[in-house]
Amino acid sequence: MKEIMFENVCKTYHKTNVIENINLTIQPGERLILLGASGCGKSTTLRLIGGLEDITSGNLYMNGQRMNDVASGERNVSMVFQNYALFPHMTVAENIIYGLKVQKLPQEQIKERLQSALSMLELNGLEERKPKDLSGGQRQRVALARAIVKRSDVLLLDEPLSNLDAQLRVHARKELVKIHQAYHQTFVYVTHDQVEAMTVGDRIALMDKGKLQMVDTPHNVYHRPANVFTAKFIGSPTTNIFEVQYAERSIRFGQQKIALPDHWNHHIAKKEGVDFYLGIRPEHIQLEREKVENSFFGTVKYIEDYGNRCGVYFTIGDKEAVAIHNQVDLKSGQPVWFKLNFNKMHLFDKQTTMNIGYPEV
Amino acid sequence: MKNKQEYQWHILLCLALFFSLLPIVFAISNSFKDLSEAYNNIFNLIPQYPTLNNYIQVFSQLPFVSIVTNTFLIAATVTIFKIITGIMAAYSFVYFDFKGKNVLYFILISTIFIPFTVTMIPNYLTVSQLGFRNHILGVILPQLSDATGIFLIRQAMRTIPYSLIEAARLEGAKHLKILWDIVLPLVKPAVVSTGIMFFINSWNEYVWPVLVLKDKVNYTLPLALQLFISSEGGTDFTVAMAVSVVTMIIPLVLYLIFQRYIIQTFTSSGVKG
């Protein structure tokens, strides 16, 4: 098993930086998710591991060995492409064993691995079909089978589920985790879907504009976002960000203010008069129809009904915010008062947008 | 409605077929007539007194076996070399990154637009200096590679999704293996139809062989045909028809064998616009 290490890795295309100074260690056998919007450099990062792109500067190590100039085929890495990249002129079986044939493995071993991959991915009976005669889900499984028969140390997955419909995707997600548990390869998995990232990943590396924003467990990425970008990217509806000022043991927002509890006051005691970004997830806002102590005041704008609960969009001053509310008992135009769950609140430095940390409770 | 439209198309196709088949049928039927019957009854499709004399004459008057062999050797060698160099060059242009690639490609492609008459004399002088005059090697030598072939094969290769190449690279395949296992099977229709085109062009070629080849024993079929058209004492045209028929046979057979690839190439290029 191999540890993959990025050391100050940069990638430049025609003088634009696609990847900027990435430092990242991927542990052997872990499932690391590269998450980000399209164009953030996550696929390029994956392709750097596979040797499909050259590194402009910096070093890439696998198991302590510098890999910058090692050919793709010698990295012991396999990959599932977004479009599956199945060879259209070969049958399912030929596609799966192509790499083993290139490696000149003995015939019996090829047969045995083919059989185990076919049964693992429920492809029995389709061996002689051509890719064009398969459904999307079957193609995806053939691509996976081709990647796992190699028994490589690292499996790279480039948005492997993005061409499947929603129901199949949930099933395939579970299958991927099952495959990981069977083979214990290091998974590096690119996706723009945060649900996929949260459910499949041991750790998530969130990227934006070629830079790593945060690398941590799904739980921490959700509950302890490192910066404003992370807080806003993960979760739906998105985290509310308010520009606030800390003064006299309270948070001031426009004309309104609410008093902070002691542990927060203690935590930011020296920041009197400093501006912050306050982040709070919609589900951590408590809406009241009557005026309550220590709350902000707003007006309901519109309501999204999710069935079991609803998203209430409201204006506070000139800013729009959203809260998750359990009952559909509000109407647009109605005034609301909302309280923050201080244990779930995040404060970010206004200059750096970095999280300033949490008080000990 | 649809039936009516199909009907109209079929009438049109039948007309086209009639006009393209007419000269072929004409040549075949007249090649089995003697000269007097041909002059009297030129449009009679079935000869009244069928004869093989024209064919016998062709084979007795000329070193015909060596002429057919020459034509075939030239066409086959030229085709094979043009295809091999075309595949190699196209692969490099599509899958290798090197400095000046686009400029080089542009220069190469612009050679397509140089008329044959411009290169004819320099090529002739080169071939003479090398001592290949009056030898089929002299005909072959300037035709071992062809920018049109590089262009056509490159276009076909560019339609292959690049991820297929990357997938093969990740499996550990090197360039030659990728070319053989992945790229060639996928561009086969284009390669075959380009090859047929080269073969037929070379088979029908007249001006260049007539410049290089002097002795009848080295001749190719189009040159042999010419002997019967302009020989002194008028055109012995039934014999010329017999030579034409022999000249047609091999390309026709090749076309019949490979026609599904040719059709595939044209239809697929049609879909992709």
Within a domain: residue B258?
Answer: yes
Closest CA to A353 of A284, A285, A264, A279: A279
Task: Please tell me whether the overall predicted TM-score, pTM, comes out greater than 0.80 for this model.
Answer: yes
The SS3 call for residue B267 is helix
Pair B70, B220: CB distance under 8 Å: yes
The SS3 call for residue A179 is helix
Instruction: Write out pLDDT tens, residues A110-162.
Output: 999 999 999 988 899 999 999 999 999 999 999 999 999 988 999 999 999 98
Within a domain: residue B6?
Answer: no
How many C-beta atoms lie closer than 10 Å to residue A127's C-beta? 15
A13 touches chain B (CB under 8 A): no
* pLDDT the model gives residue B271: 38
Within a domain: residue B244?
Answer: yes
For A88, the closest chain B residue by CA position comes to B186
CA angle B158, B160, B164 (to 5 degrees): 130
Number of domains chain B contains: 1
The average pLDDT across A289-315 equals 89
Instruction: Write out pLDDT tens, residues B140-189.
Output: 999 999 999 999 999 999 999 999 999 999 999 999 999 999 999 999 98
Say if the Cβ atoms of B169 and A72 lie within 8 Å: yes
Within a domain: residue B193?
Answer: yes
Cα gap A82→A191, rounded to integer Å: 10
* pLDDT the model gives residue B270: 40
The chain-wide mean pLDDT, for chain B, equals 88
Task: Look up residue B163 and give its two tokens.
Answer: 């991820």
Task: Give the closest of B161, B173, B174 to A83, CB-based.
Answer: B161
Say if the Cβ atoms of B169 and A78 lie within 8 Å: no
The CATH number assigned to the domain holding B99 equals 1.10.3720.10
B163 touches chain A (CB under 8 A): yes
CA angle A85, A90, A93 (to 5 degrees): 95
Segments forming the whole domain that contains residue B255: 62-267
Closest CA to B93 of B6, B168, B154: B154
Within a domain: residue B130?
Answer: yes
- Count contacts between A and B (CB, < 8 Å): 58
Q: Which residues of B touch A54 (CB under 8 A)?
A: none
Q: What is the DSSP letter of A358?
A: -
Within a domain: residue B49?
Answer: no
Nearest-neighbour CA in chain A from B91: distance (Å): 18
Pair A280, A258: CB distance under 8 Å: no
ipTM: 0.86
The average pLDDT across A348-360 equals 92
The average pLDDT across B225-253 equals 79
Q: Go through chain B and tell me how many residues it has.
A: 273
* pLDDT the model gives residue B232: 54
The answer on pLDDT for A333 being more than 80 is yes
A73 touches chain B (CB under 8 A): yes
Q: Which residues of A touch B185 (CB under 8 A)?
A: 89
Task: Look up residue A167 and give its two tokens.
Answer: 């129901």
Band (pLDDT 50/70/90 cuts) for residue B265 is: low
Q: Go through chain A and tell me how many residues it has.
A: 361
Residue A31 bridge partners (DSSP)? A187
The distance between the two most distant Cα atoms of chain B, rounded to a whole number of Å, is 73
* pLDDT the model gives residue B272: 35
Cα gap A158→A140, rounded to integer Å: 12
Band (pLDDT 50/70/90 cuts) for residue B59 is: confident
Say if the Cβ atoms of A102 and B170 lie within 8 Å: no
Task: Look up residue B207 and give its two tokens.
Answer: 């001006």
Instruction: Write out pLDDT tens, residues B68-92.
Output: 999 999 999 999 999 999 999 999 9
* pLDDT the model gives residue B41: 79
Packing angle between helix B184-204 and helix B147-158, nearest 10 degrees?
Answer: 160
Task: Look up residue A147 and give its two tokens.
Answer: 């990647």
Within a domain: residue B83?
Answer: yes
Within a domain: residue B23?
Answer: no
A78 touches chain B (CB under 8 A): yes
